[in-house]
Amino acid sequence: MTYQQKNYWVVDKTVDNLSSTEEILQAAHHIQQNHVIAFPTETVYGLGGNAQSDEAVNRIFNAKGRPSDNPLIVHISAQEQLEQYVQEIPDQARRLMEAFWPGPLTIVFRHNGTLSTKVTAGLNTVAVRMPDHPVALALIEAADRPIAAPSANRSGRPSPTTATHVHDDLSGRIAGIVDGGPTGIGVESTVVDCSSEQVMILRPGGVTKEALEEVVGQVDVDPALIEINQAPRSPGMKYTHYAPTAPLILVDGDVDYFCEQIIRAQDDGQRVGALITNEYCGMTGANKEVLMGVSTELSTIAQHLYDSLRSFGENEVDVIFAQVFTDSHLGSAIMNRLTKAAGGTVRRQ
């Protein structure tokens, strides 16, 4: 479906009683009519539609150009709503909800069949989260619907952290954009499976493994996150994501090794981009350097990651080399996104 006139609602997230503001009520009406709109969360912008409507979910997939065997995350505005959609809430899930909801944690439960089967991609489980953003919560409350919402970008592109990113990818493809300003965390939520006895991370994100284990003890990690060639448990994890406009290659080595890769590419006639921390600034000899922040401040790196990936314009460079980060704490989420953006391509010293 093509939208000739797209709605654009600018919302001040500090306003009281957001759910009753005209902008939120108009956006919520579109959700109720099974159209799809983009809205901010604390992680990235989401592309929202009624999670109980096949029509709405089809519009999400069509707008993104996303395969329909990819399950979607359902967003709610209050913990009490969860019982309407799942068979049970395990004790470990309750403890995680108490610790991290609202917040960047998605929990996988066994669903009770009340949601669109297109949301769950035919699986017996559903992923649910309660976002920690006043605009998102107000929209869900005003719509009075559970909202299915993947990231509001074309499939395969870096996720959007501003309304401008959404407009660049989805203009004319969705009913509107709720502009609540830049997002905070910058990478998507952590996804944990609580549908079986052992809690397992299916996607690293805004809540770290270390933080989860402080609440529920040992947490396993999906082997697909460790071994790139292993089949993932979630069908949505098998597609390339977050890719910039030029091929991305991760470089695991010191600054001399990093610069060596750039020189070799330039000797082959390629224009080279460098996705680097501030410490490498001016040292790489790349045709274009994009800085993500100080290497020790992983929260800043995460916040700027997608915007940095989008900073390389179409046909501006032929290849991009990126630094790697520690694979612990928030670095796990950063490396997950970079590895997917690079299609698993890494050069090691």
- Binding site for ATP: residue ranges? 66, 70, 125, 151, 159, 203, 242
109 and 126 Cβ atoms separated by less than 8 Å: yes
Residues 188 and 46: their CA atoms lie apart, in Å, by 10
Helix boundaries (H) for 183-297: 209-216, 223-226, 255-267
- Binding-site residue numbers for L-threonine are 43, 75, 129, 149, 189
Peptide bond into 67 cis (omega under 30): no
Contact (CB, 8 A) for 192 and 215: no
Distance of alpha carbon 160 from alpha carbon 183, whole angstroms: 9
One DSSP character per residue, 35-93 reads --EEEE-SSSEEEEEETT-HHHHHHHHHHHT--TTS--EEE-SSGGGGGGTBS---HHH
Q: List, in sequence order, every residue forming a beta bridge with 7; answer none if it has no partner.
A: 176
Return binding residues. 43, 66, 70, 75, 125, 129, 149, 151, 159, 189, 203, 242
First to last CA, the chain: 49
